[in-house]
Amino acid sequence: MAAPCTDCAGAGTLTVDDGQQQYTITCAACDGTGETPTLADNENNGQAGQ
């Protein structure tokens, strides 16, 4: 079992505040899965369709 991502605390997203607006973005460390080292299955990492 993978460990919770330490960048997003397992949420899969991060909230960024630029002083005027808040943005919710996908965590780049875990690719939104909330776990590391598990990445999302997509065509960019060679896992999709397998």
Q: Is the pTM of this model over 0.75?
A: no
What percent of the chain stands above pLDDT 70?
A: 74
| pLDDT tens-digit series, residues 25-43 | 999 988 898 988 776 776 6
The per-residue pLDDT for 3 is: 86
Within 10 angstroms of residue 31's Cβ, the number of other Cβ atoms is 19
Asked if 5 contacts 27 with a C-beta cutoff of 8 angstroms, the reply is yes
Domain layout of the chain by residue ranges:
3-36
Asked if 29 contacts 7 with a C-beta cutoff of 8 angstroms, the reply is yes
